[in-house]
Structure 1
Amino acid sequence: MTGRAAPLLRDNIDTDSLIPSREMTSPTQQGYGEKLLASWRYLPTDDGSRKENPNFVLNRAPFRDASVLIAGDNFGCGSSREAAAWALRQFGFRAVLAASFGTIFQNNCYRNGLLPIVMPRAELDSLAAEAEQGALDITVDLERQVVEAPGGRSWPIAIPASEREMMLAGLDAIGLTLRLREQIEAFQQADRAARPWIWLASPAQET
């Protein structure tokens, strides 16, 4: 994937900033893209309508169409709201480059098709400054596990094998497990033959 990079080089951007609690009104997972960073993207209005803040980076060209976000330290810290990952993904981001991530947020990213990539702060500073000066396209190659920028620059992507497999397959953890359906069913059949009394046991009664 090659996409436009947007610089948002702030530290400690928490999940409440990414998706304010007042914006979590949808009964489904949809409709969160326009709510991303709502407190920063929009100006207050008397009638409650959305009026864009023209000075905010994601409201300016060429960053409106960005698919790679460059951030600082501790990105996605705070409460464990999965909607923060939904909002970023639905806005159009496919990857976030940061010096570090909140642990729960990082796991939510893997499960929602958003790749969190840890990079050295000095490199992030340089890329963000370059993006501020004009269009910067960054390539994120999960197959080869590398991030590439113009001029032959590259950085490795460190990602657990199971999360990499899940993202490459476009599956969640359940879908990844169900790829082993035949092995699971074979184990169950063998276990049923070896320990039939286990399979005859009644479920525990609720008290």
Structure 2
Amino acid sequence: MERLREVEGRAYPYGAKNVDTDVIIPAEWLKTITREGLGKGAFESVRAQPDNVFDDERYAGSPILIAGDNFGCGSSREHAAWALGDLGIKAVIAPSFSDIFSGNAFKNGILTVVLPQEAVDRLLEVAETDEITIDLESQTVTTPFQDRFTFEIDPFRKQCLMEGLDEIGLTLARDAAIANYEQRRGTQMPWIERGTEV
């Protein structure tokens, strides 16, 4: 997982509320066994509408998505986070998220930023013309117009995102402690190593 310390750039000013995972990535895209290419199916039903924000060249490649309340509700498909990541989105700002989606996003290196509706409304306005900056270390979202919004994040999640540690990375970071335990176990419980019971 890549380190995430700051996300800066244009943002998709989506703003829709109660966007479920089937809107983020429709079920017919779930047959794949790889994460690659899911960005093409992201928001497929929204993209079918003319003049949609996801096909607007002004926002092409935007690393930030601004959404409405209860983003990522519905089924628990991790493909939703995979699709956003493949689309190039590194952070989503919304007034609230589904717990399962928020967890899946975190495990896939995507920052979910919870801000009050008034702050989200202001960011939707700014996103129409200008870039937005999210600084994870200071836990702030800023604009070129001196807007500054602070957000909360679980310290463990913050550390993992900033250091680029997923579950495998966390385990590998404990490699020495694991090796030490296995060595002690072999000495203290040799029957385990032999594969026989005492």
TM-score by length of structure 1 reads 0.84
Residues 100-139 of structure 1 correspond to what in structure 2 (within 5 A)? 100-132=96-128, 135-139=129-133
Structure 1 gap segments, 5+ residues each? 43-52
- The equivalent position to 1:184 in structure 2, one of 160, 178, 192, is 178
Q: Which has the higher contact order (CA 8 A, sep 6+)?
A: 2
The residue aligned with 1:164 is: 158
- The equivalent position to 2:89 in structure 1, one of 84, 90, 93, is 93
1:8 equivalent to 2:2? Answer no
1:28 equivalent to 2:34? Answer yes
The residue aligned with 1:63 is: 59
> How big is the alpha-carbon RMSD for the aligned residues of Structure 1 and Structure 2?
1.9
1:200: Cα distance to partner?
A: 4.4
Structure 2 gap segments, 5+ residues each? 1-6
Q: Return the alpha-carbon distance in structure 1 between the equivalents of residues 21 and 34 of structure 2.
A: 18
The residue aligned with 1:150 is: 144
| Equivalent pair of 1:66/1:92 in contact (CA under 8 Å) | yes
Indicate the percent of aligned positions where both proteins have the same amino acid: 40
The residue aligned with 1:50 is: none
Per-residue CA deviation, residues 21-73 of structure 1 (Å, 9 max, x unaligned), is 0222323111101110001102xxxxxxxxxx431111113122321111111
| Equivalent pair of 1:96/1:117 in contact (CA under 8 Å) | yes
SS at match of 1:189: helix
Amino acid at match of 1:161: P
Amino acid at match of 2:148: S
Q: Return the alpha-carbon distance in structure 1 between the equivalents of residues 143 and 171 of structure 2.
A: 35
Amino acid at match of 2:99: T
Q: Relative to structure 2, which stretch is displaced further, 191-200 or 106-115?
A: 191-200
The residue aligned with 1:18 is: 24
Per-residue CA deviation, residues 177-200 of structure 1 (Å, 9 max, x unaligned), is 211100121122234333444554
Q: Return the alpha-carbon distance in structure 1 between the equivalents of residues 33 and 191 of structure 2.
A: 44
Residues 32-47 of structure 1 correspond to what in structure 2 (within 5 A)? 32-42=38-48
| Equivalent pair of 2:35/2:86 in contact (CA under 8 Å) | no
Amino acid at match of 1:192: G
SS at match of 1:16: helix
Do the aligned partners of residues 169 and 202 (structure 1) sit closer, same or farther apart at CA in structure 2, a change above 3 Å counting? Answer: farther
Amino acid at match of 1:128: L
TM-score by length of structure 2 reads 0.87
| Equivalent pair of 2:119/2:149 in contact (CA under 8 Å) | no
| Equivalent pair of 2:107/2:166 in contact (CA under 8 Å) | yes
| Equivalent pair of 2:10/2:62 in contact (CA under 8 Å) | yes
Q: Relative to structure 2, which stretch is displaced further, 192-201 or 107-116?
A: 192-201
